Amino acid sequence: MTSEKNRVVIFDTTLRDGEQSPGATMSHEEKLEIAGLLDEMGVDIIEAGFPIASEGDFAAVSEIAKNAQNSVICGLSRANFKDIDRCWEAVRHAGRPRIHTFIGTSPLHRAIPDLTQDEMAERIHDTVTHARNLCDNVQWSPMDATRTEWDYLARVVEIAIRAGATTINIPDTVGYTAPVESADLIRRLIAEVPGADEVVFSTHCHNDLGMATANSLAAVAGGARQIECTINGLGERAGNTALEEVVMAMKVRHDIMPYTTGVDATKIMHISRRVATVSGFNVQYNKAIVGKNAFAHESGIHQDGMLKNAETFEIMRPEDVGLSETNIVMGKHSGRAALRSKLKDLGYELGDNQLNDLFVRYKALADRKKEVFDDDLIALVTDAGAPDASDHLEVKFLRVICGTEAPQSADLTLRVGDVDHQSTAQGDGPVDAAFNAVNAIHPNSAQLQLYQVSAVTEGMDAQATVTVRIEEDGRIATGQSADTDTVVASVKAYVNALNRLIMRREKGGSDVPEVTYKDVS
Ligand code: KIV
Ligand code: ZN
């Protein structure tokens, strides 16, 4: 039996804590798209960014706030008036805005701004009061709560409640706690802090010891009614609690966790793929719920059992999380209407121009591949550059000569804006030669941080998806591309990353936030 008191609020921080993960930076348009998908899937609260961190963050939070249909839009701010005012300026456009303000309360974190316990308590009182004067929905977090002395934690939580906080979020900032402790801490705060029954307690866990999901669910058992999480568990270091894991755990094990959320779980796969693509953080194959192998049954015993009764080895159905059942999609004679309808099933609604462009690429792929699978189509849709860079780069022609003897050489035609340029370059291997050919036309000082190849589907003619992450002057850009030819996919991914870098240079700002979490007033 579930009731209102067992409704768990899902607070998604993919666009703030997730995006903060080095290299996961998303463009403005990508943030808007992800926020739209979160809103559509029934996420209660979207933490859209850290408005004072940069002009880009401010613009994204403001626009997400303006576009939101149902979700509460929240922004993060440190414990000072300037941060809080900037946060309010951005979130106030939302139908339902929230200000989230935090300060590190553990001994190690108190030492950074060099505040005594009393001085920090006063700061908490003043900043939460200030936030509450601006907005009637205020969340307060004692960062590193799980390593804060109990007496001090209880004292500052009470101060924040008295000052007007409506949600108290308890972060396990360094992923240090364990399930029993996580439940006890929330239970004890609710039982012992005066005024605790007037606010919602929230849990915010990091996955350093692989316990983020367990700790979040334990916190709910202890009385928390908000879980902070990210899609695919994206986040700094080992990441945050994965939204898909807590939502599905409460659904599948409703018998022992009788809690509900407002999330439409059938939208999980689509948003998971989009977050993986735009962040450049591929989902590990055996990741719970959204990994490629999460519903794959390879062994004979499993397959036999599955054919007789799916429940033998499956605790949830693929379609429960939006994984389409169909495998082989279409032949090379399928038309535009079939493509549009198939893409719709996969969660992509394209405009006419986008569909026409995709159709041409689909036909070319179908000519090269015997079978075109759902994942091939998804790779085609997501294989797009950064269209708003003015000096947009596009690979027009590539021929690589490889052999057992180095060096390899590459002939390339690269369109820059409207003009085609040619180059020939050599390198240590075909990919190096092709990248050198790009650099000969578009000189840059970007350093390669990540080069990753994975097969989209099975078979000798499988498409390869290549992810390339580059860094230049603190700006990080990720590009992805898929092709049946790994070298072609590599060059296109590199060029996509360069396009993003150009776009970021043009828009200004860097991925290293102008402000950090260090508490300065
Ligand atoms: O992990 C953490 O402590 C945070 C806070 C800013 C809530 O992300
Ligand atoms: Zn965090």
Summarised one tens digit per residue, pLDDT across range 305-351 is 666 677 776 899 999 999 876 544 566 777 888 888 878 777 778 88
Q: Please tell me the distance from the alpha carbon of residue 490 to that of residue 494, in angstroms, as a whole number.
A: 6
Q: Hey, how many other C-beta atoms are within 10 angstroms of the C-beta on 351?
A: 8
- Whether 190 and 266 map to the same domain: the answer is yes
- Report pLDDT for 325: 60
Asked if 288 and 294 touch (Cβ cutoff 8 Å), the reply is yes
3-class secondary structure, 66:
helix
Query: What is the number of domains present in the chain?
Result: 3
- Whether 345 and 199 map to the same domain: the answer is no
**Which residue in 390, 186, 272 sits closest to 12, CA to CA?**
272
| Residues of the chain scoring pLDDT < 70 | 1-2, 297-308, 313, 325-331, 370, 383-390, 458, 506-521
Residues 309-325 as b/e (b if ≥16 CB within 10 A, e otherwise) read eeeeeeeeeeebbbbbe
* Shortest-distance Cα residue to atom 8 of ligand 1: 17
285 part of a folded domain: no
- Whether 143 and 184 map to the same domain: the answer is yes
Ligand 1 atom with the shortest distance to the CA of 76: 6
* Shortest-distance Cα residue to atom 5 of ligand 1: 143
The preferred substitution site among 21, 77, 141, 172 for testing ligand 1, maximizing ligand atoms within 8 Å of CB, is 141
- Report pLDDT for 215: 98
294 part of a folded domain: no
Give me the half-sphere count of Cα atoms (radius 13 Å) on the Cβ side of residue 144. Answer: 17
CATH number at residue 409: 3.30.160.270
Rounded to two decimals, what is the model's pTM?
A: 0.84
Residues 6+ apart with CB under 8 A from 347: 267, 269, 270, 322
Residue where a domain stops, chosen among 337, 358, 381: 381
Summarised one tens digit per residue, pLDDT across range 138-147 is 999 999 999 9
- Whether 8 and 94 map to the same domain: the answer is yes
Q: Is the CB of 142 under 6 A from ligand 1?
A: no
513 part of a folded domain: no
Question: How far is the centre of ligand 2, averaged over its atoms, from the C-alpha of 473 (Å)?
Answer: 26
- Whether 189 and 42 map to the same domain: the answer is yes
Residues 6+ apart with CB under 8 A from 520: 78, 80, 113
- Report pLDDT for 508: 56
Residue that the structure tokens 């941080």 belong to: 449
- Report pLDDT for 92: 98
Q: Is the CB of 102 under 6 A from ligand 1?
A: yes
- Whether 350 and 446 map to the same domain: the answer is no
- Whether 75 and 140 map to the same domain: the answer is yes
Q: Please tell me the distance from the alpha carbon of residue 269 to that of residue 119, in angstroms, as a whole number.
A: 47
515 part of a folded domain: no
β-partners of residue 228 are: 11, 204
Cα 73 to chain centroid, rounded: 16
- Report pLDDT for 355: 86
**Which residue in 336, 335, 328 sits closest to 371, CA to CA?**
328
Summarised one tens digit per residue, pLDDT across range 266-305 is 999 999 999 998 888 889 999 999 998 898 765 556 656 6
- Whether 137 and 261 map to the same domain: the answer is yes
Per the structure, the complete domain to which residue 211 belongs is given by 4-279
The bridge status of strand 138-143 relative to strand 97-104 is parallel
Question: How far is the centre of ligand 1, averaged over its atoms, from the C-alpha of 143 (Å)?
Answer: 6
Asked if 77 and 52 touch (Cβ cutoff 8 Å), the reply is yes
- Whether 335 and 227 map to the same domain: the answer is no
- 410 phi and psi angles, rounded to 5 deg: -130, 135
